[in-house]
Structure 1
Amino acid sequence: MLSWWRAVKGGEAPVRFFAYREAVNAGLAAASAVVAPSHAMLAALRREYSTPFSAAVIPNGVDPKRYHSGPKCPRILTAGR
């Protein structure tokens, strides 16, 4: 949430989010490992939270060489959040 705030609103999140920051810091400190989907996301975590933590990047997706597609279906898929 804090990295979203910085990207969308610009700058530090307001003081009212201090409890949120502390809760995430506690979670990071207690974790045996942290996984992020990209180096950019990992960098954002490290920038926003002061607790040192062990982390790795595991990208989203699959190796396209492991899967081959069959005939195309006449369908459309949309997704959003």
Structure 2
Amino acid sequence: MSKMSTVSATAPVAASADSPVVYLTAKCPAGTQVLGGGHSVTPGTRGEAILDQPTPDGTGWYVAYTFDRVARNGVLTVYARCAVFAG
């Protein structure tokens, strides 16, 4: 394993959104594979991750987060730790 990087993707969630679930993927740069990942939400955001896992092809990290219908203003950020594997 050689070069490593961390990438992220961010999505705001507004109280007027039609669905309380946000789906978001942090994609690794071309030629890299995901080693791990995770997510964070803005402080005070209520809800839970219903999926928090690598993408099926191993090129990113995928999160499905369900926000509380009453208090779902917030920001979801998904992180992926990526690496190039020397062969």
Q: TM-score scaled by structure 2?
A: 0.22
Q: Which has the higher strand share?
A: 2
Q: Relative to total residues, which structure has the larger helix share, 1 or 2?
A: 1
Which of these two proteins has the greater Rg computed from alpha carbons?
1
| Structure number with higher relative contact order (C-alpha < 8 Å, ≥ 6 residues apart) | 2
Question: TM-score, normalised to structure 1's length?
Answer: 0.23
